[in-house]
Amino acid sequence: MSTSPRVVVTGMGWITPLGCSLEEVWSHLVSAGSGMAPITRFDASTFPTTFAAEVKDYDFAQFVRDPAIHATAGLNTRFALGAARQAWQQSRLDDHQNLDRARVGLYLGAGEGVLDTKNYLKTNLSAWNPEARAVDGARWIASALKLMNDHREIEQEPNMPIAHLAREFEVTGPAFNCLTACAASTQAIGEACDIIRRGEADVMISGGTHTMIHPLGVTGFNRLTALSTHDGDPAEASRPFDRTRGGFVMGEGSGIVTLERLDHALARGAVPLAEIIGYGSSCDAFRITDIQPDGRGAAAAMNMALSQAGIDPLDASSGALPIDYVSAHGTGTQENDSIETRAIKRVFGELAPRIPMSSIKSMMGHLIAAAGAVELITCILAIRNGELPPTRNLHTPDDGLDLDYVPNASRKADVHTCLSNNFGFGGQNDTLIVTRYSE
């Protein structure tokens, strides 16, 4: 393990399709609940995919000091404000009278903002061509320009959630955003840990936020044939590792963690919830929307994280497995699930079938840039609660998908160390390793 400063998690928060508190979401995860339902954000009746995992009953005003300050904030920013407030409160940073806010930074994996779709569609329904299953770009842009004022234009920028969080919590330390597709928040957390280890901050508020549940987002992923077009109960649409899987279900939301240098946390009396001990990142250098077929890129990220954590993935000589649980990227596309399985086998060899792994995307959908953060939080809750969330809708594993995917029902387990994977379009692969905190 590295001798550099230890980084611990002292707070967590999320806004998800399964709820807006740690306890509520965890309860749904271990009971194999589902956040999938018909899309209500816009009329999707003519789209190939008519369902998604939307955040319901969320009022961001309850999480901020003054809602008027964030009146122009986009939906992705509002999700981040709620998740960050939960993480901030659990960390009890407001109790620290001498907190140096210039030493508190931000690093998000935040997706671009979107327009108020309902108002937009009032003037732009003609932009959608059901027969071509496409959006007329010229009409879309013309209509969008009619609706946007200066602030709405600015709010489309991916770094706007950071600006709002900085103002809300009055922090002036390092501030960064990355948008590496579905790996973004995993990368953000890994890079935020490195900022702390380099001595550039004492605390980093990190994670991700995103929504793509709008006509352009759904159209784009439909054209890529990445979204499920399941004809039936939306709750059964996301089927990672199953032979009948047909794509992912679009989700939305935010996951935020408070990362802190261990000695700083202990000095102010904070309670470490877990420790981040490994981070790895690689690029496939392959096709933009495809993963290296042999899983070498994903394996490289995992091996880098394991090396940083001081873990030999092939060693079980002590009787314990090197990793107790893998939070799979597990999108439910034909390609991803097969190649991720191949990569896990490449890294862990003969031990791979003994290591449980599951995909919470089967229950809350794919939160795109925010996916990694909510999956890391899930790992920490698995460690603290001694229970593994299941992969819902896994009834008949596909040929070659022969690992332990914790099908359909949660499982009690002694969880000490978890590995969390996320892979993004463009060939981005990122892995985090989190472990139970120990003095």
Single-letter amino acid, residue 350 = E
**Fold identical between 9-267 and 279-435?**
yes
Extents of the domains making up the chain? 9-267, 279-435
Cα-based distances in Å from 299 to 4, 93, 338, 351 = 24, 37, 13, 15
Characterize 197-220 residue by residue with b for buried, 16 or more Cβ atoms within 10 angstroms of its Cβ, and e for exposed.
Answer: beeebbbbbbbbbbbbbbbbbbbe
Q: Are 84 and 205 in contact (CB under 8 A)?
A: yes
Q: Return the CATH architecture of domain 9-267.
A: 3-Layer(aba) Sandwich (3.40)
The pLDDT score that the predictor gives to residue 4 is 86
Fold (topology level) of 279-435 = Peroxisomal Thiolase; Chain A, domain 1 (3.40.47)
pLDDT in tens, the chain (439 residues): 456 899 999 999 999 999 999 999 999 999 999 999 999 999 999 999 999 999 999 999 999 999 999 988 999 999 999 999 999 999 999 988 889 999 999 999 998 776 544 444 444 444 445 555 555 556 655 555 555 444 566 777 888 999 999 999 999 999 999 999 999 999 999 999 999 999 999 999 999 999 999 999 999 999 999 999 999 999 999 999 999 999 999 999 999 999 999 999 999 999 999 999 999 999 998 888 888 889 999 999 999 999 999 999 999 999 999 999 999 999 999 999 999 999 999 999 999 999 999 999 999 999 999 999 999 999 999 999 999 999 999 999 999 999 999 999 999 999 999 999 999 988 899 999 999 999 8
State if pTM tops 0.85.
yes
Give the catalytic positions in this structure. Answer: 182, 329, 366
